[in-house]
Amino acid sequence: MKRHRFFVVALLLLGLLSSCSQWRPFGVLKPDVMEDVLYDIHLSEAVLLIKYPTMRREDQRACYDAIFAKHGITKERFEKSLVWYSDEPKRMVEIYEHLDLRYDQLTNDVKTYKYHTELSGNLTLDTLAHVDIYGFPYHIKTEGTPTADDVDFEVSESLLLSPGDRYVLRFYHKPMGYDTVHFDTLHHSSIRLTVFYSDGSSHTIQSPINAKGLQRRFTITHQCPDTLTPVRITGSFFSGTDSLKWLRVDSATLIRYYNAQINPLSAESLIILDSIAQESHRRIPVSNRIHGDNAFRNRITNLNLGEGSMNVRLPNKSAEREANTATKKGG
């Protein structure tokens, strides 16, 4: 009888040990807390991937540390909890089902302008529209240092501009300087986009120029305030006093994103836009139009510039080494 009791007790202990994972160990986060931490981590990772993909590791760690501090936990406690929940697939699935619902709700909030009250009401994303308000030549190439006539542009048709607009300038940029061994980045020149407003104020976004003969893709974005009326846009693919051997700009567009319900295009605006579309080569003289070669494969760097933002695509390292080798052989 005693041996039988001992055997039964042993079986009970074995069952207890095998099922002990049903109880959350000391130090492991509660499911709701774990869900909140993962919610913030995944959102932060998405932002970093899209806007700051080349952020330094120490800066990335600082983002995670800020999340842990927000929830009053440590990195070690989160990692311990992650290991335990990973061994509890049912609990982890429940957490991610809740996360899916929360992300769906967040998406719906964005679509219904919860975070942009100026667009609240019955508006939907269908009311947002975009149109090209310039009409650049597909290829722009200059030999030597470009002049203002070659690379400057201006939009002065106020009928095409409205408060709350977003202007996005995209283009490929490939300059070659004279001294790329000691000075990769030009110190006295930049790429520039400026928006002028009816009250006399203006906002300028500019970026330095790396004149090493490598192709980069730029995306410069400016968001107009709802309280100010834009009256003019100016810009330049090369503004400064440095010297270049040549400059090439490809596939440039200046897109206006606007609310078609609040600021619909007038008949006069449509006439202007039709003229721009038909005469896309009329504004910037092009000394030599050429066909594009195969662009370098790209990686992305993002710059946060306050009211505006810039997204720059940089060539990969192997392409950069090839370009450096070719430059040295040519020199």
Q: Which has more confidence, 114 or 245?
A: 245
Q: What is the pLDDT of residue 86?
A: 92
In this model, does residue 114 exceed pLDDT 60?
yes
Highest mean pLDDT among 17-26, 229-238, 305-314: 229-238
pLDDT-wise least confident of 74-78, 135-139, 246-250: 135-139
In this model, does residue 247 exceed pLDDT 80?
yes
What mean pLDDT is reported for the chain?
A: 76
Q: What is the pLDDT of residue 20?
A: 45
Confidence of residue 116 (pLDDT cuts 50, 70, 90): low
Q: Which has more confidence, 186 or 292?
A: 186
Q: How far apart are CA 178 and CA 212, in angstroms?
A: 9
What is the pTM assigned to this prediction?
A: 0.52
Domains and CATH numbers, the chain: 16-116 (no CATH), 128-330 (2.60.120.1310)
Are 292 and 250 within 8 A, CB to CB? yes
Highest mean pLDDT among 122-131, 135-144, 204-213, 249-258: 249-258
Q: Return the half-sphere exposure (C-beta side, CA atoms, 13 A cut-off) of residue 296.
A: 22
* 152-155, strands of its sheet edge to edge: 152-155, 230-240, 185-197, 202-210
pLDDT-wise least confident of 31-40, 73-82, 154-163, 315-324: 315-324
In this model, does residue 3 exceed pLDDT 70?
no
Across 315-322, average pLDDT: 41
Confidence of residue 126 (pLDDT cuts 50, 70, 90): low
Q: How far apart are CA 125 and CA 31, in angstroms?
A: 35
Percent of the chain surpassing pLDDT 70: 71
pLDDT in tens, 90-99: 999 999 999 9
Q: What is the pLDDT of residue 317?
A: 39
Cα–Cα nearest to 240, from 144, 146, 149, 310: 146
pLDDT in tens, 41-52: 999 988 888 777
Q: What backbone phi and psi angles, to 5 degrees, belong to 238? A: -160, 110
Across 285-296, average pLDDT: 33
Q: How far apart are CA 324 and CA 327, in angstroms?
A: 5
The residue length of the chain stands at 331
Q: Which has more confidence, 54 or 319?
A: 54
Q: What is the pLDDT of residue 323?
A: 43
Across 164-183, average pLDDT: 81
Q: How far apart are CA 310 and CA 221, in angstroms?
A: 6
Q: Which has more confidence, 1 or 58?
A: 58
